[in-house]
Amino acid sequence: MKLIGIGASEGVAVGPAFVPQTGGPEPERHRITEDEVGAELQRFRNAVEAVVGRLSETVDGLRRSGNEDEAGIFEFHVEMAEDPELASAVEERVGNLESPEAAVLAAGEKYAAEFAAMDDEYLSARADDVRDVTGQISAELMGRAASGFESMQKPSVVLARSLAPSDTARIEKGMALAFVTAEGSKTSHVSIMARSMGIPAVVGVGDTLEEALNAETVAVDGTKGSAITNPDRETVAEFEKMSEAFAEERAALDEYRDVEARTTDGRRIEVAANLGSASEAQDALEWGAEGVGLFRTEFLFMERDNLPTEDEQYDAYSAVARAFGDKPVIVRTLDVGGDKDLPGIDQVHEDNPFLGWRGIRMSLDTPELFAPQLRAILRAARHGNLKVMFPMVAEVGELRAAKKMLQEARAGLEEEGVEVGEVETGVMIETPAAAVCASELAEEAAFFSIGTNDLVQYTLAADRGNERLGRLQSADHPAVLALIRQTCEAAEKANIPVGVCGEAAGEPEMIPKLLSLGVTELSMSAPSIPRAKKVVSEL
C-alpha cells in the first residue's frame, strides 16, 4: 500500500514499522490507604524530579544543537511539571486517598480541559502539552514509559497519528529511521524535529495511516512525500540504494553549509532561503542561508476568520529579523488573489485569479489591508535588516504608489512616536511587463528579485498547475532567459542587485545560466542551499 502525504524532511529510509502505544497511561491503582499517604507524596515528588531532570536534559540538548524554539517548548514543560498549583492539587487528592498516579492525571486533565476550551487557538493547543507532562509524571510513578518509545528494540520507522515533542525527544539516538504521521504539516513539531535529526519524514498522510499500522516493513521517501508498506524485495533494494546515495550526497554537501558562496573567479553570490512562515527561520540558518530572498507573508492571513493585527504581523516579522541579524531579509507584501478568501475583503469570483486582482493590485486598492502590513514591517525593521518587496508589479506607477503608501506609513508612525527602521524597497519581477520595463523600474527600486515560477507561467502562457504543460514550465526557455537578461542589464546599469527566488534558483543546471546573465543572489527552499553553494563554488 502506498501512503501519500507531505515530504516534511528529505531523505529515504526502509525498516521495520514501530507504532507507539497511543493514549495516556492508565493508572494501576486508584486508591491508597491512610498510612500510605506520606510515602506516596514523597514518591510523587521524586517522580516530578525525575521527569524534570529528563526534560532539562532535553532542553540542553536542543539548545546545543541550535533548536531554540523546540527548547522553549520543553522549558515550558519543565515549568508545568514543577508547577506549585499542580503539586497542591495532587497533594489534596492524595490526602483524600487517591493514588498519586491517578491524582496527577486527573489534576492535569482539569487544566487541559480549561486550556482546550479557550478561544485562542494557540492556547487551546497547549492542552496536549499539559496532558503530555502529567502523563509522564504518572508513568514515572508506575515505573514505566509514557509513550512506549523505550520499548523500541531496533532502528525502526515510526508510524503514529501525531507525535508530541516529548515523544520525539524520548526516542533514543539512532532508533528512529523515519517518521510517518497522519496529521501535521511542514511546520509541525515532528517535521522540525525530523529535519534537525536528519531523518526523513512524511506527514499528513491522513486516515490511510490506520490501515498501515499493521505493516511489518515500511519504505519512506521524505523527499517525495510518500511511503510504501510491506514493500517487495526489489523496492527494498531500490530504497536502500537511494538511502545510501542520499547519505553520501548530504555528507559531501555538509561542508558547504557555512561557506560564503563565491565563483572561482571571485564573484560573490549570496545564497538565501525562501521562507513560508516565521517558524522556518532557524532551520534555514542551519542549512546555511545567508539571508532570506523571499519571506512570503501569506501564512499570516490563511486559515482564519479574521485578518491578522498589525501587532501579530510585527511579531512574525521581528522574529525573522532577529533570527537573521545583519543578514538581509526580503519581506514580500501579501500576494493573494481570487483563488483564496481573505476575511473582510470584498473579493468577487474571478475566472482567472492568476490574471486577476492580486498582489500589489489588491494592496493598493485596500489600504485597510496594506497599511497595517507596511507599518508592521517598518516597526520590525529596527530588529534586523528588513527589506520590502512588492509582488505582481506591471508598471512603474504601481511601484510609485506603493512607495508613497510606505512613506505615509512611516510618517504616521513617526508622528505617533513609534520607532521605525530603515527598509529598502524592491520589485518582484514576475510579469513580463515588469521585465520589459525593468530600466524604468530600476530608477525607483533598490533591488530586483525575479520570481521565475510566475515569470515562466506568464511569459509562456502556461498554467503552473497544468500537468500536461511540463515542457513549458521551465525557466530554461529562450523567451524567459531573454527577459531575465533584460532585467539584469537594467539592474546593472542602475547599479542595483538582482536576485532569483523561484525554483530555478536551486536547480544545479540553471544556476550557471542565471549567473552568466548577471544574477547576484539566489534564493531557494532551505535544504537546497548547500548544493547551490557547491555549484556556485565550482563555477
Annotated catalytic sites, by residue? 189, 501
- Nearest Cα neighbor of 264 from 519, 534, 484 is 534
CB of 420 to other proteins, least distance (A): 14
Does the footprint of other proteins cover residue 48 (CB under 8 A)?
Answer: no
* Residue 498 binds other proteins (CB under 8 A): no
Torsion of CA 51, 56, 58, 61, to 10 degrees: -160
Q: Which of 34, 85, 207, 368 binds other proteins (CB under 8 A)?
A: 85
Among 36, 37, 61, 115, binds other proteins (CB under 8 A): 115
Decide if residue 114 touches other proteins (CB under 8 A).
Answer: yes
End-to-end CA distance of the chain: 44
Exposed/middle/buried for 485, CB within 10 Å: 0-12, 13-18, 19+? middle
Q: Which is nearer to other proteins, 119 or 303 (CB)?
A: 119
68 lines the binding site for other proteins (CB under 8 A): no
Tell me how far, at minimum, the Cβ of 110 lies from other proteins, in Å. 10
Q: Among residues 60, 79, 172, 254, which is the contact residue for other proteins, using CB under 8 A?
A: 79
Which region, judged by CB under 8 A, interacts with other proteins, from 79-87, 361-369, 442-450, 523-531?
79-87
Structure-block grid coordinates of residue 458: 506568464
- Closer by beta carbon to other proteins, 135 or else 499: 135
The grid coordinates listed for 78 are 519543565
Provide the 10 A C-beta neighbour count for residue 428. 26
Residues ≥6 apart with Cβ < 8 Å to 467: none
Return the residue of 23, 33, 35, 84 that touches other proteins, per CB under 8 A.
84
80 sits near other proteins (criterion: CB under 8 A): yes
> Judged by CB under 8 A, which stretch of 80-88, 189-197, 349-357, 454-462 contacts other proteins?
80-88
β partners of residue 273: 292, 524
Task: Out of 6, 12, 86, 261, point to the residue binding other proteins (CB under 8 A).
Answer: 86
- Euclidean distance between CA atoms 472 and 499, whole angstroms: 22
Residues 309-328, one symbol each (x = binds other proteins by CB under 8 A, - = not), give --x--xx--x----------
Indicate whether 57 belongs to the interface with other proteins (CB under 8 A).
Answer: no
**CA triple 6-189-530, angle to 5 deg:** 65
Query: Which of 10, 40, 83, 221 contacts other proteins by CB under 8 A?
Result: 83
Ranges assigned E (strand) in 226-369: 226-229, 270-275, 292-295, 328-332
Distance CA 484, CA 498 (A): 10
Phi, psi (rounded to 5 degrees) for 105:
-65, -45
Tell me which residues touch other proteins (CB under 8 A).
76, 79-80, 83-86, 111, 114-115, 118, 120, 123, 126, 130, 311, 314-315, 318
